[in-house]
Structure 1
């Protein structure tokens, strides 16, 4: 696996984990009325965006080697 791919994947997973932890901290043991909806939604949006990016990176990481190999572009 390419080091750049692994680094990008690790970065994205770390971002998801950090945002998830921040979201949990924003909710905490608060009553529903005390929770800042906009703050929680911001973390949710960030998680969703990062997850979409991770999914795209994973798909490209899977498809590009297959595409290059199928077109005779593999290292010989």
Structure 2
């Protein structure tokens, strides 16, 4: 199984110009994530992992940190079996 946390971490760090952000750091409070980047992450998640992000999935809890984003993807695959 691929390490989704590492994949998400690499994407976020790459987008931030290889700035290192702790996996559990709040991306919104730290100023790393704005609405445009949030949309880019959603589109990237859908393409990279072949998932469908629905309106009800778009909560701060799912996108607050690198760890939360990876957990959201993991939960998606757990739900579909």
Between 1 and 2, higher relative CO (CA 8 Å, sep ≥ 6) is seen in 2
Higher helix share: 1
TM over 0.5: no
Larger radius of gyration: 1
Which TM-score band applies after superposition, normalised by the shorter structure? 0.3 to 0.5
